[in-house]
């Protein structure tokens, strides 16, 4: 089992400080938020990408994913379609240059009819899949916004039908969608890349909290994964990153929330405790 955290929790933090924080708190990986306000983004040049990859390698910390903001189910005109394709290709190339196995994308279908939104998402992801496979990157559709449940995301992923395209399970959004963790796990099992964990007080108050102090069913989610043979200290299908849990602490959107660095070590210990506890949870 390996643990990562997202730079969304430490917005704007320079790479050397991110690496020091990961090393000091026992995390093996970092999910890099690909936004212009961060140290690494689509505009980062080749030399800088090489330098960042080397910094992570020297520190013994993995770049788990490039967390992009592309919305694959959005309604777009011709210019928007071209811009989205450019963004998606750029995210894959950025991840490949950094040595990251995953790219995160959003559905972003808004209030469009599901059939139209999903047709566009399938078409765009299928077009991206060959480049992702060629570059050794897997593009993950996050359970989020218009497709926040595992069942909704799986409709898209099943229609794409390519191993270069998978799922990122955000436990907050599947819970907000009213889906039981066991059902999310079942829906995403054929596609799952990794899992984002977090905690909040309630569906009405999603200010980030330390792991284990809020309302999210983290124990149930981890129990469902373990019953399916995941997150048990081994891998089930040969992928190197199947056993990652990533803490996405949304400090960027909630500036009044407690600072993440002081919470990281205890959060890692909490996740390990939940994993140890769920190891003996009956099915």
Write down the pLDDT at residue 230: 77
- Rounded CA-CA distance 166/77 in Å is 26
- Rounded CA-CA distance 140/92 in Å is 11
In a domain? residue 47: yes
Between 283 and 25, residue with greater pLDDT = 25
Q: Global pTM?
A: 0.95
Lowest-pLDDT range, 54-58, 90-94, 223-227? 223-227
In a domain? residue 218: yes
Contact (CB, 8 A) for 193 and 168? yes
Count of structural domains within the chain: 1
Which residue, among 209, 72, 86, has the nearest Cα to 141 in the 3D structure? Answer: 72
Over the stretch 231-242, which tens digit does the pLDDT of each residue have? Answer: 654 444 444 335
pLDDT more than 70, % of the chain = 94
Tell me how far CA of residue 176 lies from CA of 38, 60, 114, 204, 217, in angstroms: 28, 36, 18, 10, 11
Write down the pLDDT at residue 206: 97
In a domain? residue 59: yes
Q: DSSP 3-state assignment of 193? A: strand
In a domain? residue 178: yes
pLDDT (mean) for 36-51? 97
Q: CA angle, corner 66, sides to 64 and 72, nearest 5?
A: 130
**243 pLDDT more than 90:** no
Over the stretch 156-192, which tens digit does the pLDDT of each residue have? Answer: 999 999 999 999 999 999 999 999 999 999 999 999 9
Which residue, among 115, 186, 110, 182, has the nearest Cα to 148 in the 3D structure? Answer: 110
**1 pLDDT more than 50:** yes
In a domain? residue 18: yes
In a domain? residue 44: yes
| CATH assignment at residue 67 | 3.20.20.150
Q: What is the domain range of residue 129?
A: 2-278
In a domain? residue 283: no
**44 pLDDT more than 70:** yes
pLDDT band at 228 (very low <50, low <70, confident <90, very high): confident
pLDDT more than 90, % of the chain = 90
In a domain? residue 70: yes
Q: Is 12 left (phi over 0), alpha (psi -120 to 50) or beta?
A: left
């Amino acid at each position: 089992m390996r643990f990562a955290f997202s730079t969304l929790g430490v917005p704007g933090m320079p790479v050397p400080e991110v690496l020091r924080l990961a090393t000091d708190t026992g995390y093996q990986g970092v999910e890099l938020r690909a936004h212009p306000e961060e140290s690494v983004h689509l505009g980062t040049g080749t030399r800088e990408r090489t330098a960042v990859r080397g910094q992570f390698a020297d520190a013994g910390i993995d770049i788990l994913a490039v967390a992009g903001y592309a919305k694959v189910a959005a309604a777009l005109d011709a210019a928007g379609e071209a811009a989205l394709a450019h963004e998606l290709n750029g995210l894959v190339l950025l991840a490949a240059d950094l040595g990251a196995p995953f790219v995160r994308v959003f559905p972003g279908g808004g209030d469009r009819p599901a059939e139209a939104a999903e047709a566009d998402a399938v078409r765009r992801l299928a077009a991206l899949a060959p480049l992702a496979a060629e570059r050794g990157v897997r593009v993950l559709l996050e359970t989020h916004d218009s497709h926040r449940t595992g069942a909704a995301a799986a409709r898209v992923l099943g229609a794409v039908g390519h191993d270069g395209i998978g799922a990122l399970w955000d436990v907050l959004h599947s819970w907000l969608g009213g889906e039981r963790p066991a059902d999310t796990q079942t829906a995403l099992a054929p596609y799952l890349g990794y899992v984002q964990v977090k905690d909040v007080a309630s569906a009405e108050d999603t200010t980030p909290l330390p792991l284990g102090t809020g309302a999210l069913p983290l124990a149930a989610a981890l129990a469902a994964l373990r019953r399916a043979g995941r997150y048990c200290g081994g891998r089930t299908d040969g992928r190197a990153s199947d056993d990652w849990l990533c803490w996405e602490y949304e400090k960027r959107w909630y500036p009044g929330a407690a600072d993440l660095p002081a919470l990281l070590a205890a959060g890692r210990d909490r996740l390990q405790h939940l994993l140890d506890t769920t190891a003996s949870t009956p099915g």
